[in-house]
Amino acid sequence: MEDVVRGNNRFASDLYGRLRSRPGNLFLSPYSITTALAMTYAGARGETAEQMSRTLHFAAPPVRLHPAFKELIRQINDEGKSGSVQLSVANALWGQEGDPFLPDFLRLLEENYGASLRRVDFRSTEQARRTINEWVEDQTEHKIKDLLRPPHLSRDTSLVLTNAIYFKGSWAETFPKQATRDEEFMVGDAEKVRVPMMHRGGRLRYLDGGSFRALEMPYAGKALSMVVLLPREADGLPALEGTLTAETLADSLARLSPHQVDVALPRFKIEDGFELQRVLSAMGMPAAFKGGADFSGMNGKRDLFISAVVHKAFVDVNEEGTEAAAATAVVMSRAMAMTPLPTVTFRADHPFLFLIRDQRTGSILFLGRVTNPKG
């Protein structure tokens, strides 16, 4: 499972590197995307499987990979059962009525991902779309709506693989609402906006990384936390993003240490969405997206390819805590000790990166940036 987490986090930094050229706020769940693609990978063979394995950093052979995902899913869902936070992961398959799928493929996804096959009729495209979207909405507490839009499905659709993740957690120590006040946030060289800035002090893990500072704020139960990576310079976000790799992030997280910190953090809410076919193809798995793709492990034939990888994500950060949700759909079409500490100030009044991670497994569940808390 550690190999899976390490590979997932490498894919997270790779994907963020491809998406960061988009302007404005950005938010996604690399974990959701990887899980949906891991289920798809279970049916890939030949060059298609090799490209997916390299791009997704799947180091373990399939016989070990999928059980490792099962254990990761179990541990994440167990965190949600602890009562400290709400955290859940769900997977499902949506297959065309009458289309045959190999029993071994269905069994593997049921046993390792809890993804049972649900039959729909993609010839009634709008009804099938509503059915899948309603499942996603239910699994994400109605935060992710209309994941699939009309162009994503057609009469040629044979299978849709879906993942949904939902998180809601209170801070281990909340921000007093009476301390929130409107303050300036730098969004450009000469542009500022006034935003609700939350304030609190406390003993938190902090790192002075020279060109940036990092702060970890745990949620109730302290199994999950938010990490904010704040450039020292107001215009330093692009340079920080340029150095972001799984290795540099892991090194920074390992060097966090307790400090007494005065925190100023803006309230913010982000809703984001992506279609990832071109990005994933450019990252090294083009064979999966064209006729001739080999997903024969799904149905015994080479007549399926990935026609869409759709992802939507939501996050709301306020004085009480954080609510975040994301969903991914992969559409398969026919191819055809309390000693006194020095006090530091961590004032996030300019663009920054942030992530939400499961501290027990090390998994990066969500990843994003804030360039303007007002959207």
Q: State yes or no: pLDDT of 330 exceeds 90.
A: yes
Kindly state the percentage of the chain with pLDDT values over 90: 90
Segment 25-69, tens digit of pLDDT: 999 999 999 999 999 999 999 999 999 999 999 999 999 999 999
Please provide the average confidence, as pLDDT, over all residues in the chain: 95
Give the confidence band of 7 by pLDDT, cuts at 50, 70, 90.
very high
Distance CA 135, CA 16 (A): 27
Rounded CA-CA distance 242/236 in Å is 10
State yes or no: pLDDT of 200 exceeds 60. yes
pLDDT of residue 82: 86
Listed by start position, the domains of the chain span 2-169+270-334, 171-267+338-370
Q: What is the CA radius of gyration of the chain?
A: 21
Only one residue has tokens 């930094």, namely 13
Q: Please tell me the predicted confidence (pLDDT) of residue 235.
A: 92
Q: 225-257 pLDDT, tens per residue?
A: 999 999 999 999 999 999 999 999 999 999 999
Q: What is the mean pLDDT of residues 176-205?
A: 94
Kindly state the DSSP code that residue 82 receives in the 8-state scheme.
T
Tokens 């849709």 belong to which residue? Answer: 160
In the predicted structure, residue 165 carries a pLDDT above the cut 60: yes
Residue 332, C-beta contacts closer than 8 angstroms, at least 6 positions apart:
40, 157, 158, 159, 160, 161, 295, 298, 304, 305, 306, 307
Phi, psi of 148 (to 5 degrees): -95, 130
Given a cut of 90, is residue 368 above it in pLDDT? yes
pLDDT of residue 83: 87
Higher-scoring residue by pLDDT: 304, 336: 304
What band does 340 get if pLDDT is binned at 50, 70 and 90?
Answer: low
pLDDT number for residue 344: 86
| pLDDT tens readout for residues 106-163 | 999 999 999 999 999 999 999 999 999 999 999 999 999 999 999 999 999 999 999 9
Is this structure's pTM higher than 0.85? yes
Beta bridge partners of 142: none
Residue 339 contacts by C-beta under 8 Å, 6 or more apart in sequence?
none
**What is the share, in percent, of the chain residues with pLDDT greater than 70?**
98
CA atoms 269, 323, 320, 203: torsion sign: negative
Q: CA 219 to CA 214: how far, in whole Å?
A: 16
Q: Is 193 exposed, middle or buried (0-12, 13-18, 19+ CB in 10 A)?
A: middle
- 2-169+270-334 has which CATH code? 3.30.497.10
If one counts every other C-beta atom within 10 angstroms of the C-beta of residue 48, the result is 27
The C-alpha atoms of residue 179 and residue 43 are separated, in whole angstroms, by 53
CA distances from 206 to 98, 263, 349 (A): 56, 11, 17
> Which residues touch 206 (CB under 8 Å, ≥6 apart)?
213, 214, 215, 216, 256, 257, 258, 259, 261, 344, 346
Mean pLDDT of the 340-344 span: 75
Whether the pLDDT of residue 336 is over 80: the answer is no
Q: Is the pLDDT confidence value at 181 over 70? A: yes
Architecture of domain 171-267+338-370: Roll (2.30)
Note the pLDDT of residue 260: 96
Q: What is the number of H-type helices and E-type strands within the chain?
A: 10, 15
Tell me how far CA of residue 207 lies from CA of 213, 228, 347, 365, in angstroms.
Answer: 6, 10, 14, 21
Q: pLDDT band at 199, cuts 50/70/90? A: very high
Q: Name the token pair of 317.
A: 């950060």
Query: What confidence tens digit (pLDDT) does each residue in 268-304 have?
Result: 999 999 999 999 999 999 999 998 999 999 999 999 9
CA angle in degrees (0–180, nearest 5) for 122-125-130:
105
Strands 343-347 and 257-266: parallel
Question: Exposed (0-12), middle (13-18) or buried (19+): which is 242, by Cβ within 10 Å?
Answer: exposed
Averaged pLDDT for residues 8-19:
96
Q: What is the rounded distance in angstroms from the CA atom of residue 150 to the CA atom of residue 156?
A: 13
* 341 has pLDDT over 80: no
Q: Dihedral sign, CA of 88, 163, 250, 244?
A: negative
Q: How far is CA 186 from CA 232, 248, 263, 264, in A?
A: 13, 26, 17, 14
CA distance 88 to 113: 13
